[in-house]
Amino acid sequence: MDYSANIDGAKAYGYELNISRRHAVEVCRAVRGMNLEKAKKFLEDVIDKKRFVEFKKHNKQIPHRTGGKPGRYPVKAAKTILKLLENAENNAEERGMGDNLVVRHIAAHKGRTYKRLASKGRWKQSDMETTNIEVVLTES
């Protein structure tokens, strides 16, 4: 599903990423609409656990942080989305876009689910769910 097909700008896609879809949805929601430099700084702060990502949808049993809002530090998802933003920034440079870039569209969707065997030689199988992420940057 490509929701960004009719938006002009620099695009980047991540297919079948091994990250939590719930965390990816919340990080994408937090970054959407931000200036690119501000979004990269925010994600670096999340990776360093200086700032938290406010969880609005998937917030059952999540403790409140300073500021009175439920949140977490999804480091793995933040690292992956930061790489995607850098890829989209490089694509913008190739297209000759300016320096004032904004995250116009960013979304996380369900990826492919595949089986994997349990550890230590057990016969049990478990499902491995993946996540697809799409990013579009435009000039403001």
| DSSP three-state, residue 21 | helix
Reported as a single tens digit per residue, the pLDDT across 36-70 is: 999 999 999 999 999 999 998 888 888 888 888 88
Mode of pairing for the β-strands spanning 10-17 and 53-54: unpaired
Mode of pairing for the β-strands spanning 53-54 and 71-72: antiparallel
Contacts of 80 (CB under 8 A, 6+ apart): 14, 17, 19, 24, 133
Report domain extents, the chain: 10-139
Reported as a single tens digit per residue, the pLDDT across 1-42 is: 565 556 789 999 999 999 999 999 999 999 999 999 999 999
pLDDT of 5:
59
* β partners of residue 108: 133
Cα 79 → chain centroid: 8
Distance between CA atoms of residues 104 and 4, nearest Å: 10
pLDDT of 122:
78
User: What's the one-letter identity of residue 66?
Assistant: T
Mean pLDDT score, 82-92: 96
Q: How many C-beta atoms lie closer than 10 Å to residue 140's C-beta?
A: 10
- The CATH class given to the 10-139 domain equals alpha beta
pLDDT of 3:
58
User: What's the one-letter identity of residue 97?
Assistant: M
Cα 77 → chain centroid: 6
